[in-house]
Copies of this chain bind each other. A is one copy, B any other.
């Protein structure tokens, strides 16, 4: 349900915890190096090879997919002066998104959110170190991330992307993460609209389940989006001097997006709370309708059945039974009883 990947109580702070299911899966190292004129892109087998290409005059985006090779991580940390606590947080992949300024770099933890099979949200932590001429990103898994469009824009060289420094790249990545929320919210919005229609027309038990699932997703999205806004806000007001004024304008834009997301999440929460009320009311209403039918039917026939029972009795002396128009009298009696009932029921507006 909610991913929890804590370190065991009492383990030393800044302990690197090898991930159990990961040892067989080596990390992938990629470097994207660019300035306004040129771009280089490559995958490396060893960190040494990669560092041989490192050029402090350009922007170097080093991406590491997979967090299992502790040795590698330690060497990277040493080379880029990463604080041990920060490195621990890279590995401990259920961190709350946050920004931590260190002397040598700014450490950003964020979460990419994926919507799988349109039912469940999955999260992947991405850890970003923003330094003078480099940007390190650590991802949990290979294969997917929210950054493909950033890469494309860098390759094409259009827009601002290539003219700016690493701080702009960090912004671009965060913006990519934030933009990933929108299609999820759209899908969810559609789902809620369907649930709404179902609820108002013909609620079933499955509707309740779908509504509950939507609410669960909203709780998760809320938990994911608020700290994301905090991150962007902290970077926007950065006091370390690593984030340029021009980038701050862009971060403000990103801040607006995430605020819009939070607004939507809160509105959807309000709407689904309202829908739960509607569901409960519908049930109550339906109960009444069913009850009304039962009561009307019973109220009509129970007295009549009693009357019929009376004239089915075998008493030796029952004058009515021998009346000439006894049977007609019975039906007349029935008509009177039914008529009275009808009148009462009508007045109560039950039929």
* B-binding residues in A (CB < 8 A): 1-2, 4, 6-15, 83, 85, 88-89, 94-96, 98, 100, 146-150, 152-153, 158-161, 172, 175-176, 179-180, 182-183, 185-186, 189, 192-193, 196, 200, 202, 205, 208-209, 212, 215-216, 219-220, 223, 249-250, 252-253, 256-257, 259-260, 263-264, 267-268, 270-271, 274-288, 290-295, 297-299, 301-306, 308-324, 326-327, 330, 348-350
Contacts and interface: CB of A to CB of B under 8 A. Distances in A.
Nearest to A269: B270
A260 to B, nearest CB: 5
A256 B96 contact: yes
A275 B208 CA distance: 11
A302 B299 contact: no
A275 B274 CA distance: 12
A95 B219 CA distance: 23
Contacts of A295: 290-291, 293-294, 297
B175 A13 contact: yes
11 contacts: A12-B160, A212-B278, A223-B267, A283-B288, A287-B287, A298-B298, A304-B306, A305-B306, A309-B309, A309-B312, A314-B321
A89 B189 contact: no
How many copies of the polypeptide does the oligomer hold?
5
A305 B310 CA distance: 8
Contacts of A249: 83, 85
Given A10-B148, A274-B215, A287-B287, A223 B317 contact: no
A250 B321 contact: no
A181 to B, nearest CB: 9
A199 to B, nearest CB: 9
Contacts of A100: 252
A270 B219 contact: yes
Nearest to A153: B12
A291 B160 CA distance: 67
Given A223-B267, A259-B96, A1 B193 contact: yes
B284 A159 contact: no
A43 B318 CA distance: 94
B182 A9 contact: yes
Among A7, A310, A316, A350, the most chain B Cβ lie within 10 Å of the Cβ of A310
A182 B108 CA distance: 23
A180 B315 contact: no
Contacts of A281: 208, 276, 279-280, 283
Nearest 6 Cβ contacts at the A-B interface: A10-B149, A308-B309, A283-B284, A6-B182, A9-B179, A311-B313
